[in-house]
Chains A and B, each alone.
Chain A
């Protein structure tokens, strides 16, 4: 595996379900990100982790719970979601978080549908 991988690629869940999204980066990066991409809207940053520590939480509802057990893995735990949470969830990684040229590389995304 190379780059940034995400599983599952597609997920359909009911509002009462609990599921988790997984992201793994094979680039030796120190920072990982969760983004939400909805139709006709810009990419929305949800969470940022740097060296396994959460450094940013952009007012995301508590029904989304991130976990970063090490610098290569990032999870997004989902529970009691709403239909408006249906979107493409993208994971990204970068070497650092502060340098002007810290480039983020994206995984393929998980297409989430909440019924």
Chain B
């Protein structure tokens, strides 16, 4: 079982719609969860982190954590073309483990 799993297929969303990304993890002892955005040819940049069950909002981004079901999700509201990127989920217990990433394409 992969440590951190993200759906691999590209996600296409129309401009203004909500993009929903999911991430599941295998280690029940994981304590904190991060979402990074990576533009093509660039390095990952932190969007937000969450460590308590429930929702955390930051601007157009909302992270949702459900430790019982071992998943964390990211919602992007009012998607913009500039949101087109790969989104990396990272999970930490002792060290940070990354998923392969989800590519998001926002169509104008």
Contacts and interface: CB of A to CB of B under 8 A. Distances in A.
Contact of A42 (B32, B95, B100): B100
Interface band, chain B: 20 to 34
A6 B78 CA distance: 34
A44 to B, nearest CB: 8
A75 interface: no
B43 A43 contact: no
Interface stretch (B9-17, B44-52, B59-67, B68-76): B44-52
A100 B98 contact: no
A19 to B, nearest CB: 20
A105 B49 CA distance: 12
Given A90-B44, A101-B32, A103-B34, A45 B96 contact: yes
A104 B94 CA distance: 14
B4 interface: yes
A100 B51 CA distance: 8
**Interface on chain B toward A: helix, strand, loop, or mixed SS?**
strand
A92 B46 CA distance: 12
Interface residues of A, number: 21
Given A42-B4, A107-B43, A100 B92 contact: yes
Nearest to A6: B43
A106 interface: yes
A45 B95 contact: yes
Given A100-B32, A100-B51, A40 B42 contact: no
Contacts of A90: 43-44
Contact of A108 (B36, B42, B98, B99): B42
Interface of B: 4, 31-32, 34, 36, 42-46, 49, 51, 88, 90, 92, 94-101
15 contacts: A41-B100, A42-B4, A42-B99, A43-B98, A45-B96, A48-B95, A98-B94, A100-B32, A100-B51, A101-B51, A103-B34, A103-B49, A106-B36, A106-B44, A106-B45
Given A108-B42, A109-B43, 4 more contacts: A40-B100, A97-B95, A101-B49, A105-B46
